[in-house]
Structure 1
């Protein structure tokens, strides 16, 4: 399904993984997060191998790699206030006491543009963009080394999408040790990353600095992606 012989992620940098639907982008993301254990090879964090399954990862390893899903609504329990669910990450993965965790959650949510009044609501009373901000906050409370975002702007309107992307850009800029893996089919999103990796039918066909890959691609598939994007842009 997926063949990626070597792919590097650097501290304080972002990597966009691009390709058409079915190319293996989400499979790669799930392998990194320990959600897809049936694979060969190794995933190394600071040179140390991570167990394939999250069930075999230590609490520190779970905190180190956090995953934000495309469907934010499905990722939250409808029966509990959002702030409590965000705070739970700090309690479970860092051993923070519940009251301190709630205060930290409110501060993080506010920093991502979700004020306290909204944070105390149940998920069903928040918009898709607001829930994505809450999902990001929940992941950040683990203080991860790697943040994997899987098509989290898909289905959002243009203004909301732009806001989420601005948040991600700021996170990488302001947190020196945080690395971002951005799974996307949109080259307009990929251009925000430092590096780009291109998947085609499960093969890693090209990787390198974003500007180089997206403006002077070397692989025919990457060329076709950029040409398609250019035509769509011209058509609009």
Structure 2
């Protein structure tokens, strides 16, 4: 058993003092997993008072080693000014790191940054591409935003069939307004196109659920 797993075992069995001691030693040696775990503990105040600046410092140490979850959590803190000074430009940088590593929530947030021009140059094509990557991974709000991109022709060629498909998927994944948007788009489609788009959405959902097990 590695020292990290020894600490994890102590933590899971209620020995937070012993776990924190080991994780701090490992974090000082540059272990990204330990840095991330300490970031979470200080971020959430798990067994101790919250310490957002210290949490951000641990997240940053792990993020600088490419640890995707730490990069995402740091980006959220910077985006919201959660206990540290807000910095939307730096937040976008860390969303990028996490998004490139495959984090769907970071991909969605990066799409939003390109969509709104907050922290990055506004770029509809980049927004649509990141929404697509996040939506393909099952990020529901990214699917809804991608539907809007197709409905409006923002960053992608306008396509009511594709808009219907992604609004259908977003609705099935739980986005409250997506069904209403889907029905609005449906008015622009022939019966054959609605059937084709609905079948494509259902096929996507079957494949996604199979992948998720």
TM interval, short-chain normalised: under 0.3
Q: TM-score, normalised by structure 1?
A: 0.26
Q: TM-score, normalised by structure 2?
A: 0.28
The structure where strand makes up a greater share of residues is: 1
Higher relative contact order (CA 8 A, sep 6+): 1
